[in-house]
Structure 1
Amino acid sequence: MCANAAWAYAVLDDEKCSLDSLARAHDAFACADADTAPWVWFFHEADLDALSGVVNAALPSRSPRTYTAATEHLYRAVEARNPDMGRSQAFELTTLATAHLRNGDPDQGVHIGQQAVDLARRVRSVRVIDRLAPLQQAALAYRPRGETADLAADIATLRAS
Structure 2
Amino acid sequence: MIPFGWPIAGHARRKLKEVFDRDGSQAAAEVLRRIAEIYAVEADIRGVSPGQRLSARKKRNAPLVAAFGDWLQVQRRQISAKSRLDENLNYIHNHWDGMQTFLTDGRIEIDNNRAKNLIRPIALSRKNALFAGHDEGGTAWGRIASLIETCKINNFEPFA
TM-score range, shorter chain: 0.3 to 0.5
Q: Whose relative contact order is higher, 1 or 2, with alpha carbons under 8 Å and at least 6 apart?
A: 2
TM-score normalized by the length of structure 2: 0.34
Work out which of the two has the higher radius of gyration on C-alpha atoms and give 1 or 2: 2
TM-score normalized by the length of structure 1: 0.34
